[in-house]
Structures are given as C-alpha cells and as structure tokens.
Amino acid sequence: VAIPHADVNLVPLPDAIGFVAAAALGCRFITAFRAVTAQGRVTGGDWVAVHGCGGVGLSAIMIAHALGANVIGVDINDDALGLARQFGAVATLNARTVDDIPAAIHELTDGGAHVALDALGSPQTCRNTTLSLRKRGRHVQVGLLLAGDQQTPLPLDRVIGWELEIVGSHGMQAHAYANMLAMISAGQLQPERLVTRTVGLTAAPQALAAMNTFSHAGVTVIDHFDVHDLDADRSAPAV
C-alpha cells in the first residue's frame, strides 16, 4: 500500500498504546480532543455540557474531565449515560425524561455551561447546546447534521445578547497529535476504556446498521478479519 506524503499523513504509534486503543482514536477521539482543547479551549474548573454520548461525546467527556472540567453528559440512552459517569461526568441528563435540558443545565451549573458541545448533530441538540451556555460561553459544533438539517436555525437573539461564540470543529491534523498521545502515554487519557465491544469484519455491517437504533453504548472496534468464516462462505454450495 502506498501512502502519499506519509511523513505528514502518518503518526508513529507509541509503544504504550495498543492497536485496539489506537483504533478507538479513529475519527472519534481525535475529533473530540481538538474540539475540547483547541476549539472549546476548556480549562480546569469550567462547566462543560456534552450533548450526545456516542463515541465523540464520551471521548469529549473523558478529555474535559482530564483537563479538570466539571462535565455534564446528555443523551437518551441510560447505558451511554452510565459510561459518561464512569469517564468523569459529574452529572447526566436523559433527554427523554427531562423536559427542558438547557434549564436543567443552567440549574446544575448556577448560570450555564462555559463550553457546550453538540456531539450528535441535530436541530434539537444544536439548539439545546446554544441555550445551555452562560453569558460569553462557547458552543462547539462537532456533530454533523443530516442533509435536510444542514441549514438549521439558531437562537441568534441569545447569541447576540449573551455574546456567545459559535465554533465549528472537524477532525485534527496529524501534526497536532503530540499532546494527545503524550496524555495517553502518561495515563491521563485511556481511550481503550471507550471500547465496549470488538467484532470481526463479517459482523461490521450489522454493527453499523445498529448504530441507527442508539441501542449500543461505547465504541465498537473491528479487531479481526474472520478469514476462516469468509473461506467457509465461499466454499459453501449455492442454494
């Protein structure tokens, strides 16, 4: 396999990081790291609200907690919220049972979050993320919205009146990995804890389709290629 410009497109994997943990970094962890550190500029003592506790959201919770922030996780899956608490969230909110998520966050934080991340990407979570901020807070949009929602409206009266920042975040350049890898090697971040299931390649389509049901919490990693199963399928007689 030829990789053009490998000197800038590849990052050496430290010995302390195993392959499954490295796979978990994927787009999730690196995206969350840049969203929290560079775009959100999270520091110790900040209140951080993470809307959506999938792979990106749980990564963001772990990273913000490691930086000393007080983190609130929001999701509709109780299992995902349980993981959020394991990774450092001081409070969690189930959006199915809490009528007014922004109001609940304002009450928990005594005025709103300093930084809020939409880690899911929907008109509702985007709106809730903005409204959960305190004055001069920062909304970081990480989750990608579906095609029909890409031009979603924002509560601009609040943005203007409270002087809020709306910031996008998308991935992280290879040259910026050093700080993240150093925190992982030092044990400050443990991306392997995000992995709650490993599957073979033949199970990947079902695992991918199941993501639409929000029934699984944590990150799924493909760690083997089911070579024998594939060979058996090829040799099986046609019916």
Q: Which of 86-90, 142-146, 212-216 has the highest mean pLDDT?
A: 86-90
Going by their DSSP bridges, the two strands 89-94 and 70-75 should be labelled as: parallel
How far are the Cα atoms of 105, 155, 186, 213 from residue 15, in angstroms, in the given order?
Answer: 40, 47, 12, 36
The domains found in the chain, sorted by start residue, are 13-193 (3.40.50.720), 194-235 (no CATH)
Q: Is 176 within 8 Å of 152 (Cβ atoms)?
A: no
How would you write 90-112 as a 3-class SS string? Answer: EEEEECCCCCCHHHHHHHHHCCC
> What is the pLDDT averaged over residues 137-146?
94
- What confidence tier does 239 reach under pLDDT thresholds 50, 70, 90? very low
* Predicted confidence (pLDDT) per residue in 16-66, tens digit: 888 888 888 888 899 999 999 999 999 999 999 999 999 999 999 999 999
Helix-strand-coil split of the chain, %, nearest 5: 45, 20, 35
Going by their DSSP bridges, the two strands 70-75 and 133-141 should be labelled as: unpaired
Q: Looking at the predicted structure, is the pLDDT value of residue 180 above 90? A: yes
